[in-house]
Structures are given as C-alpha cells and as structure tokens.
Structure 1
Amino acid sequence: MAPQKRPASIAGVIRPSEDGDAVARHLQSRYDQVIPNCDNNASSPSFLCSGLLLRATEYSDKYHSWQPNPATAAWGVSFSWLRKDSDFKDTHGTSNGFIVYPEKFALSNGLVPVEVECLYPQDAWTSGPDRCTSHAYSSGAPAPTIPLCQDIGVYKSDDWLKKGFFDNENQCAFDLRPARTSRATVVMHSVEIRRLSSAQLGYRRNEIIVADWSKTPDARFPIEAFFYKQDSLPGKPTPLSSAQSDQCDFWRTVKKWIPIIRWEGTAAPSGSAKFLYRVQDQKTPDSCGVPPPDSGADVARHLQSRYDDTAQTCPDQPRKALMSCSGVLMRPGWVGNIWQPIEADKVSGVGIDWVRRDSNATSLRSYAGIVFFPEKYIRPPQKNVIVAACAYPDMSPSDGLSWRCGTVCQKQSPPVKDAAGWVNRFTGDRNQCAFSMDDGDPAYLWQQMMIVRQIRRFNRPADIIVNAWSAKDVEVPVEAIYWTTRDPESLRKARAIQEMYKDDTSLRIPVIRVEMVATLPQRITFSYHEADQSVSP
C-alpha cells in the first residue's frame, strides 16, 4: 500500500522526525518485539527500547492532557506498558490518551525521557503519598501500604504468586529505578506473572509508575503519538474527537504536529493488536485554527518553562543558537514604542538581555521592558524579526559603538574561537569581545558564550546584539511586558507600555512580574497577577 499523505503544513509548525505512517510502523514493531532486555544487555530492561508506554487521558480546555496532575504528581504518575507478551486492551477511565517514546528513542530525538520507577503486574489502584507502595480500596479509602517487592524478598514470579498477590490493592511493585540490580529480569518476571495468573484475572492492564515530569518543557516531553480506541465509554466524548482535541492543543502549545494512531486492541497470551495511522483521523494545523491568545498565566508558565530549560541544543534545530528555542529574550526600556528599534539602532543594532537558569543572571539592564518570542514560537501575523548578530558573555558598554558588536571575537588578532580563548584574553564589561553568530556554527558559538559566563560567574545578563528589524507593530513578536519587584516604580512603567501597545495595535499583552533571587540557588521567577495589569483582558 502506498504511504498515506500526512496533513498539510503551515509556516512555523515543527515536524517530528517521522510521519504518521512511520510512527504506526514503529509502534507495531515495538509491540511485536518480545525481547528480555535491550541491546543484549542484561542490566538494560526491555521497556527502555521495546513495548509501548502509554497513559489514558481525557481532554479538557482547563489543562494539557500530557502534563501530570499537579495535585498528585509527587506521588508518581500511572502509565501502562503494552507488548505482545504483556497484552491488554482495557484502559482506565477513557479510550484515548498518549504514548511516549522509550528512553532509547527519546534521547536520540533530543527529548527528555520519562523516568520509570516501578511496575505492578496488574492495575494496582495506587494512591498517595507514593504510588509504588500506596494503594486505595474501590471506595477511595486508604489500603495497607505494601513495600516494594525486592524489599520483602520477592524477586521472581513464583515468589510473587506465593505471597497471594492477585490484583488491585493487594500486590507489591517491582522497583525499576536504576540503583536496583536485575531490572531486566524482574520486568520479564512481571510478564510471566501476567501469563500465570491470566486464568483468574484475564489480560487486564498493568500499572507502571513514572516520576513527575512537570519541570520538563512541553517541547521536550517525549510524546510519540496520541491514541484512541473505537470503544466509547458512557458519559465520555468520543475517543477520536478527544484525541483530535489533544492533537490541536499540542500544536497550539508547542507548534509540533503529533499523529493520532488507532489502537485495535486484543487481550490474549500472545496478542495481535494493530496500530493504524489514518489520514481521515487527523486534524491539521489549518483545521485546528489559529491559536487563541495565551492567558497571562499561560504566558508566565511559558516564560518560566523556557527559563528552566537548560537543553544544550534546540530540538529539531541543532545548528540554531539557543535563544531560538529557550531562555527569555528581554528588551529593556520603557520610553516610546520600545517594540520598535529607535533610529540610531537601525544602524548599530539593538541590545537585548537573554537570561536562562544556567546563565546565572541575577540582575537586568532595566527593571521594565518587553519580552520577545523566540524564533521557535513565532505565530502569525508575527514575523521572525529577532535575529542575533553577536553575543557578549557579559553586559557590555556597546551603546556608543557605531556597530554594537564591535570587533567580534573571530576577527580579533589572533582570532578568539572558543571559551578558552576568550577567558585567556578578556575579563568582561569593557574588556571583552562578542561571538559573531554569522561566522561559524551559531549553536556551538552560543555554547562557548555560556561556558564563559559559567567560568567568570557573570551575574549580569548576556548582552545579545540583534539586527534592527523593519516590521509593522503587530508583526513584531512581543510576548509579554515585564517589571521587577526590585524596583516598585517599574510596575508603573510596565503598565504604561501595556497601554501604549494596546493603543497602537488593539492587542493586549500581559504584564508579567519578575522576581530575582541573588542568593543560592540563584533563580528568576515569572508570574502573572491581575493586580499588575492596566488593560483588562
């Protein structure tokens, strides 16, 4: 059969490294792959490379289905692990959800793998404070805590069955954290337990507990597919429509298209489930519609997520400077239309602050200003106008230069091409050079700038010179207006910017509060408060 055409693209959508047909093929292959371990390594459990790690979810416009519930995330999050020899077709509560890449393939795609903590052979009715040991009765009342299997001498399938563990709250979990030995072996014992107890229990879902991933940026969460089954549940949306809503929500949030896969499940000693990619099941970026404006709270969450994202490369864009996908780009100032360059900047370039958790910045050039979207998250009608020309590791007195980048590092005599060369020659402030982003690999040069900051322990923001832009006000990628608690007067200035921007564009951009902690651990936080706003939603 000829490959099916994937949905049409629009500008700015990040494509995964494989299309829907390839995803379905890989899911089928891993489901069918009955192996005892990964890469013939007895210490590498098979869930790291085979089977499907999935979670049933329900779409809501109040949260993102791929994120853990903040009220219970610290307990661990329930998934199931599906494979031909560990088959089931039931899911908990809904008939749709998502599948994540196993660790081996998450890493190869530049994503952050989920961390598996423990595995129950059957659904265990887990609860808090620790889903690997805590359970609840069907009434919701707490059930007795059961220690981890290895801690009570249960290592094999026979040990487990002799204890009388048969389902629900009456079972122990096999600890699968890296500190445990024989992880691959106990996974296969769990598979054997399911086979031996099938006469009493049938082939129902197992339960695998994953550590809280709420600090992982959405763009680096290793989601491989949204799935649905054809069996609708009473009182629930149709599984396909719920999966389509999730697909659109992920696109609106991350601008990455994730395919929907139909799971035709079985429940047998040797399963024969099928995983199908169907064009008619997919929403497209066009049919999802233009993303609605983010709420102020969402903007603050996105800023915090990018600030906390310490990835060393941009996923899917390995040669891009990190400012293209992470960190926070802040233009200081409050006089006039600061979302546009002033006349002098059209020749000299525009100075921008860039902060990220591992940049160690605990101060800003100005305590009020605007935040720009990074290139990765530009949305129409905005344009990619913020293009870095060079990056100074420390705040620089570049205002008086006809070209703010000055004599860039690569044009020094001898040329400075890396962090070691910079540290040997310069100290910062007036005594420094900027790495040109036009002379070499921008991703590598940005990393060198970051290494310099860490060696020199600079606590002022990195000084990024960007090319002046020529764009209509509504095309400039303004994400937020900021003020800082270090200067209460800056709130008045931020409100004035918000009012001017609304007058000029008819758009409301939220005012975000920035708080800086100079003591260890150094950190900047971003939050939204209705009381800070001058323009109503």
Structure 2
Amino acid sequence: MKRIILWMFVLLLSGCATHEPSPKVDSDQGTSGVQSAGTGILGAGTGPEIAAYLTKAYHDKINMCRNNPSAPPFLCSGVLFRATENSTLFHFWDPRPGSTGVSFSWLRVDAKFNKLVFGYNNGFIFYPYFFKPAGKIEPEILCFFPVDGATLSRPDKGCGQVPNVPTSVRCQTQGINTAAQYLAHYNNQPGKYGSLCGFDVRDYLNQGATTAFNEAVKAQEQGGTFAFNTQNEFRLDVWGQNLGATLPIEAVFYLNDTGKAGAQYDQRDFKTQTGIWIPMIRMTLPQTPAADATFQFIPADQAISS
C-alpha cells in the first residue's frame, strides 16, 4: 500500500492539536494536527512544546513508522532541516530559482554531525510528515547521502551520477544495499566528496525505501571522523515559489548569536508573509560523537512572541 493512503487514513482518525491559523487548503486535507500514540509527537505546539517534540524525535531510534514496513523512519522521527543563507532578497522557504531539488539534512541520535553545510548558522525545520499540521504539502523525499552528496553537480534532481564519476551512481544500481557494502565503497574513495553514492528512498520503493534508509543510517553512524565532520544530505523534490503557508515548517533554528539574527529576521518575515507564528529554536550540534544535539526555546531570543 502506498504511504499516502496510510497518511490519509491517519488524518481521518487522529485527534486535534491547534496552534497556528489554518491556511487555505484542499478540503480533503482535514482540519487539525496529528498525534501519534506511539511517539507522542504532536503536529503543532507552543515554543517549549516544539523544543520538546524535537528532542523526542531526535532520540527516537525506530526502524519504521507505526510498524509499517513501507514507512521509513524519516517520516516520523529525527529532525529534518534545511540550513539557509540569510538574506533580505528572498524568503527562506523558497527554493533557488531554476533548482530541480532542495537539499536538507537529517539529525538523529544515530545520525550525528557537528556542522552545517557551507558553515551556515541558521535555517528551518520541517515537521516529520506523519505529524505535520493538516493541510501542509509533502515535497517528495527522493534520496539520502550518509555524507554530503555534492548534489548540485548531479542530475536527476540531485540524486544521479556526478559526471565522469562512476562510483557516484545510485547505490542500489551498484549493488550497494547494506551498511557494510556502503562502508566498503566509502573506504575505497579517498576523496569521498562527490565520489560516493546515494540511496534511493522514493515512495514507490515502499519497503525497499525503509530498508535502504536504515542501512544508510547505520553506514553514517559507522563512518568515523569524516562522516561526523560532514553533514548528511537528503534531496527533496522542488516546490513552487511563495508556498510558505502550506509548507510543513515547524520552526526556524539558529546555532549561535550569528545565526540568531538571521533566525529573527526569518521568524518575522514568515509571520508577515503567512500570518503564521513559528518558534525560533536554538539547536546545538554535538561536537564529539559521544555528545548529543539539544533543542531549546529561549523566550528572550524570539523576535516576536506570537
């Protein structure tokens, strides 16, 4: 069964959670947030609640969602986020014009890293799709790289082969289906960046996507210093411009005081453009493999309180 059918069923059966004004949505999308009895993560909440949800999602080491083999854990656990470059020239939620895909990273207790792409210090967080508020769209999640995939150099929406680098072809195409096989591939590529493969996790693979992703997470966890020092990368299908109100944006985040100013601007801009308040969350990345990420809502740091 395709996961979208399961999600629609969940929306019909789930209880309510309210926080932000409801945007205009298709009438078949339901009317409220979603709660999981299995994890207790709500689809909407106050600033302290969102910080608590993120902390719980970060520590939730599951292999599938709701015991459904065709539902990979990124749909209901971990923290899916996009690091952004702050600018007054564009809205943080809009993809770059002309891009065919959008890059995110995914942080969980077994998928740690100590920095963001390009040294960025702020960005935004998506709800896990199983817990997004009703009416939010779900850009398709396409592929996952245990370490940064140099996706700007790849065709197929960032999931394909880097030109003239045969080792960068889709992992499954190369017969790389397990963590052990990926690590052998990884250890044979001295340069690593741009020479490694990514795992296809598209929805049509059903249980195959869940298996591939779980093996990719194991590979990242076992990847040593280079993997810990290099953020992983999801590639999502590109969405249209000016869709802030319908994207499943849970919060903006910042790592430090440099990022705080950018997050404050983004928080105000999102409220101005969409009418929706989202919290600013201070995200602290682990600086050693033994440490954990933390997520804090700090009232004094908020640009606007509601």
Q: Please give the alpha-carbon distance, in whole angstroms, between the structure 1 residues aligned to 2:64 and 2:92.
A: 30
> Counterpart of 1:123 in 2: which secondary structure?
coil
Contact 2:122 2:259 in 1 (8 A): yes
- Is the alpha carbon distance of 1:220 and 1:162 closer, same or farther for their aligned partners in structure 2, counting shifts above 3 Å? same
1:216 CA displacement: 7.4
1:160 aligns with 2:182: yes
Number of the residue aligned with 2:160: 133
Match in the other structure for 2:278: 258
Instruction: Tell me by how many angstroms 1:40 deviates.
Output: 1.6
- State the 1:170 CA deviation: 1.1
Gapped regions of structure 1 (runs ≥ 5): 1-12, 136-141, 233-237, 287-537
Displaced runs of 4 or more, over 6 A: none
Give the one of 154, 165, 182 matched to 1:144: 165
1:186 and 2:193 aligned = no
Give yes or no for contact 2:44–2:50 (8 Å, CA) kept in 1.
no
Separation of aligned partners in 2, 1:37 and 1:215: 32
The whole-number CA distance in structure 2 between the counterparts of 1:51 and 1:165 is: 28
Q: 1:267 to 1:118 in 2, by over 3 A?
A: farther
Counterpart for residue 298 of structure 2: 278
Whether the aligned pair in 2 keeps the contact of 1:248 and 1:285 (CA below 8 Å) is no
Task: Kindly indicate whether the alpha-carbon contact (under 8 Å) linking 2:161 and 2:170 is maintained by their aligned counterparts in 1.
Answer: no
Identify the structure with the greater strand proportion.
Answer: 1
**Counterpart in 1 of 2:114?**
89
Is residue 94–residue 242 contact of structure 2 (8 Å, CA) maintained in 1? no
- Where is the helix percentage greater, Structure 1 or Structure 2? 2
Q: Deviations over 1:165-198 (max 9, x none)?
A: 5731011110000122421222121122122221
**Equivalent of 1:222 in 232, 238, 248:** 248
Equivalent pair of 1:154/1:160 in contact (CA under 8 Å): yes
Alpha-carbon offset, residue 148 of structure 1: 1.1
Match of 2:75 in 1: 48
Output the CA distance in 2 between the equivalents of 1:195 and 1:203.
Answer: 12
Structure 2 vs 1, CA of residues 158 and 62 (structure 1 numbering), >3 Å: closer, same or farther?
Answer: same
The residue that corresponds to 1:243 in the other structure is: 263
Deviation of the 1:103 alpha carbon? 1.1
Task: For 1:222, give the aligned amino acid.
Answer: P
User: What are the superposed Cα offsets for residues 301-322 of structure 1, whole Å, 9 maximum, x if unpaired?
Assistant: xxxxxxxxxxxxxxxxxxxxxx
The equivalent residue for 1:176 is: 201
Alpha-carbon distance in structure 1 between the residues aligned to 2:78 and 2:68: 17
* Counterpart position of 2:27: none
Task: Give the structure 2 partner of residue 385 of structure 1.
Answer: none
The answer to whether the 8 A contact 1:103-1:114 is kept is no
Cα offset for 1:270?
5.2
Distance in 1 (CA, whole Å) between partners of 2:161 and 2:174 is 15
**Could you tell me how far apart the structure 1 residues matched to 2:161 and 2:260 are?**
33
Within 5 A, what are the aligned runs for 1:1-40? 14=21, 17-40=44-67
Deviation at 1:71, TM superposition (A): 2.2
Deviation sequence 1:367-411 (CA, Å, 0-9, x none): xxxxxxxxxxxxxxxxxxxxxxxxxxxxxxxxxxxxxxxxxxxxx
Say if 1:21 and 1:143 are closer, same or farther in 2 by CA, change over 3 A.
farther
Q: Per-residue displacement from partner, 1:326-360 (whole Å, max 9, x unpaired)?
A: xxxxxxxxxxxxxxxxxxxxxxxxxxxxxxxxxxx
**Paired position in structure 2 for 1:353:** none
Taking the aligned partners of 2:218 and 2:170, their CA distance within structure 1 comes to 18
In structure 2, the CA distance between the partners of 1:182 and 1:269, relative to structure 1 (3 Å rule), is farther
Q: Quote the Cα distance in structure 1 between the aligned partners of 2:251 and 2:281.
A: 7
3-state secondary structure, aligned to 1:59: coil
| Structure showing greater relative contact order (alpha-carbon pairs closer than 8 Å, 6 or more residues apart) | 2
> TM-score under structure 1 normalisation?
0.46
Partner of residue 340, structure 1: none
Percent identical residues:
34
User: What CA deviation, in whole Å up to 9, does each residue of 1:477-499 have, x standing for no partner?
Assistant: xxxxxxxxxxxxxxxxxxxxxxx
Q: 1:179 to 1:209 in 2, by over 3 A?
A: same
Is the CA contact (8 Å cut-off) linking 1:53 and 1:102 kept in structure 2? Answer: yes
Q: Contact 1:204–1:267 (CA<8 Å) still a contact in 2?
A: no
Q: Are 1:109 and 2:130 matched, yes or no?
A: no
Larger Rg: 1
Q: Is the 8 A contact 2:114 2:228 kept in 1?
A: no
Shift of 1:67: 1.1
Q: Secondary structure at the match of 1:112?
A: coil
Change (3 A) 1:216 1:116: farther
Specify the code of the residue in structure 1 equivalent to 2:253: F
3-state SS of 1:185 partner: helix
Residue in structure 1 matched with residue 236 of structure 2 by the alignment: 210
CA distance 1:51–1:216, shift in 2 (3 Å): farther
Q: Deviations over 1:254-288 (max 9, x none)?
A: 011110000111044454211000111111279xx
Aligned pairs for 1:508-519 within 5 A: none
Task: Compute the RMSD of aligned alpha carbons.
Answer: 2.2
Equivalent-residue separation in structure 1 for 2:305 and 2:292 (angstroms)? 33
**Alpha-carbon contact 1:77-1:211 (below 8 Å) kept:** yes
Do the aligned residues in 2 keep the contact of 1:87 with 1:267 (CA within 8 Å)?
Answer: no
Name the SS for the 1:182 alignment partner.
Answer: helix
Instruction: Report if aligned partners of 1:194, 1:203 keep a CA contact under 8 Å in 2.
Output: no
**1:154 partner letter:** I
Stretches of structure 2 lacking an aligned partner (at least 5 in a row)? 1-19, 23-42
CA distance in 1 between partners of 2:259 and 2:241 (Å): 28
Secondary structure in structure 1 of the residue aligned to 2:238: coil
